[in-house]
Structure 1
Amino acid sequence: MEPKKAGIRKRSSKAAPRPAPVAKRSAPRAGAAAKPARQRLLASDDLSRSLGYRIRRAQLWVFKDVSRRLAAFDISAAQFSVLSVIEANPGVNQLAIAQSLSIERAGLGRLVDHLERRGLVQRSASAINRRYYVLYLTQAGTALLGRLRPAIAESERALAAKIGPRAFKELQRALSVFLQET
């Protein structure tokens, strides 16, 4: 008999053959087209008790719902927010919008460029301070905003249905304290 080499064993011919590798399926099984199983969140006990974590989860739910509803109009939640601020403040400058919505100036510039290319916003140099641009909605921007509002209202109704109308009103009241902070 041959001496054993360190860590290497010779396979005998009597050993059971290795099973053939299992081929991966490329097509789903019949019946697998049904709803996919929902994955459970992997939050720790500390996180699931944290109010901040719960607020973040709620924010993610709302953002996903709003984004899904606005996708039909080829508009993002951020673009909707900018259009809303411009409508409420005609002639507002980009810096004021960036500060109001907590958007970086460079990011807002790209966003406004996109809205301008779509013909929703008109940008012109400020008569007061030529370093700033002031923004106005175009007729197309005003019309689109009018069509977006029902989608936003529907998202609000979905949230109210999810948590209950009373809790929805209490949540709005409680979170309104943050509307005044910058």
Structure 2
Amino acid sequence: MDHYSKENYQLMQSVGFFLNRARDGLLIEMDAALRDLDITAQHMGILLLLTRGEAHTPFEMSKLLCIDSGLMTRMLDKLESKGLLARSRSVDDRRMVNLTLTEKGMAVAERIPEVAPKVLNARLKMFSPEEFTEFRRLLAKFANI
């Protein structure tokens, strides 16, 4: 079933417009909340993946976070310059770069769960528990997850 057509499509009423608007607003709020940790919302994903052992290389990070390799390299450069992570060549394959959190990076990552839920809960405060569950289900369906 087609939900949009040439006749009924209106940019500011489209799903894409609403998703972009929601994402942009959330990133602004999350960046502001993370300012004291000296990281951004995008940096948060990298730090949390490393903390949880879900990714160890820039390639794995790029795939999980849906970020192109150029942007990933710039973000890793920024985190490395802040002393939050270290890169090292794999002993098995010199072409492979492994990422590890520094002590400072671990300390910052430990504080993220104190900050991020507050931002998300403020955005979701008008949702009932049932609406929240359905919202997550529908977003996952839309994202093909």
TM-score (norm 2): 0.81
Instruction: Name the counterpart of 1:29.
Output: none
CA contact (8 A) 1:120 1:138 kept: yes
CA contact (8 A) 1:90 1:136 kept: no
Count of residues in Structure 1 that have an aligned counterpart in Structure 2: 136
TM alignment of 1:46-125, pairs within 5 A:
46-89=10-53, 92-125=56-89
Instruction: Write the deviation string for residues 13-53 of structure 1: whole angstroms up to 9, x where unpaired.
Output: xxxxxxxxxxxxxxxxxxxxxxxxxxxxxxxx822332222
Match 1:169 to one of 133, 139, 142: 133
Amino acid at match of 1:146: E
Deviation at 1:165, TM superposition (A): 4.2
Deviation at 1:179, TM superposition (A): 6.4
Task: Answer yes or no: is 1:134 the counterpart of 2:98.
Answer: yes
Task: Answer yes or no: is 1:153 the counterpart of 2:117.
Answer: yes
How far apart, in 1, do the equivalents of 2:144 and 2:92 lie? 28
What is the root-mean-square deviation of aligned Cα atoms in Å? 2.1
How far apart, in 2, do the equivalents of 1:75 and 1:118 lie? 9
Q: Which has the higher helix share?
A: 2
The higher radius of gyration belongs to 1
Instruction: Write the deviation string for residues 128-182 of structure 1: whole angstroms up to 9, x where unpaired.
Output: 32112101112221111111221101011111114444323221122223263xx
How far apart, in 2, do the equivalents of 1:92 and 1:81 lie? 13
Higher relative contact order (CA 8 A, sep 6+): 2
Q: 1:179 to 1:158 in 2, by over 3 A?
A: farther
Deviation at 1:107, TM superposition (A): 2.0
Partner of 1:158, secondary structure, is: helix
How far apart, in 1, do the equivalents of 2:28 and 2:139 lie? 20
CA contact (8 A) 1:121 1:136 kept: yes
Provide the identity percentage.
Answer: 26
CA contact (8 A) 1:91 1:134 kept: no
CA contact (8 A) 2:49 2:55 kept: no
Partner of 2:98, secondary structure, is: strand
